[in-house]
Amino acid sequence: MCPPSHFEVSYSINPWMEPEKPTDTPLAIVQWDRLRALLVELGHRVDVVPPRPGLPDMVFAANAATVIGGQVLAARYRYPQRFGETPAYQAWFAEHGYPVRQARFVNEGEGDLLPTGARILAGTGFRTDHRAHAEAADHFGLPVVTLHLVDPYFYHLDTALAVLDHEEIMYYPGAFSPDSQTLLRELYPDAIRADRADAAVFGLNAVSDGKHVLLPQAAVHLTESLREAGFEPITVDLSELLKAGGAAKCCALELRDHDPHAGKAPNPS
């Protein structure tokens, strides 16, 4: 995770971003701190990447890379406003002993590449180039399922779909093309389906550890559906970060199957 110390909306690269509307950086920090504290309380280790001035979207760490089996496929951002995040995150990976491959094609990390138990679900349509899907399959040795996003308000896959536990997901059908909706129904017939109201408050931009699901508190109906499915939803207020088009999942990049602290003294940060 990366704290929103320099958070603001000074440009627009998605429909949620309106630079003319004021932002409250101290409030964004308070909300982010609460999310981080909840993850720690649930027993997860949270490593913090130092923020850099002039990179207001660096708080959205999930876009920085996809990490599976200790291997990193680093993002290649579509918009120049985010190019500076790449060296910042790659420096952290290098410092902590991760092998890093820089993506050849535009690829916005876990924004559009969401690993499940058996495959990687991969979004395209607004940010990640569809050619990046084959690149991810080659790098990680996993099958990749391409899903086409068609609603600009759900510009990344992680705004329209969340992996809950291995092969359990929740998603908003209206964010996907008809063919992709059919594919999702075939692959995940028991998936939780969100309505547009819950999707529009970024209810699907959630962090799940297989039991607990952290999601925006405004996603009322989705919260109840998660309880009915046997999960424990925990609601958080991330309204300030939503002004830039991000919520819980955008703020957290999962590091899979690698201990960056092996042989090092514990770091309480």
Phi, psi of 234 (to 5 degrees): -125, 120
For 191, the token pair is 């998936």
Pairing of strands 232-236, 161-165: unpaired
Contact 134, 110 (CB under 8 A): no
For 12, the token pair is 């627009």
Question: Annotated catalytic, 250?
Answer: yes
Report d(CA 16, CA 156) in Å as an integer: 12
Contact 5, 212 (CB under 8 A): no
Sequence-ordered list of residues with C-beta below 8 angstroms from that of 52, at least 6 positions apart, any chain: 6, 58, 84, 88
Report d(CA 235, CA 219) in Å as an integer: 8
Sequence-ordered list of residues with C-beta below 8 angstroms from that of 70, at least 6 positions apart, any chain: 98, 99, 256, 257, 258
Contact 5, 218 (CB under 8 A): no
Question: Annotated catalytic, 261?
Answer: no
Place of tokens 């790659």: 90
Active-site entry in 6, 133, 156, 212: 156
Active-site entry in 2, 212, 250, 258: 250
Catalytic residue ranges: 156, 250
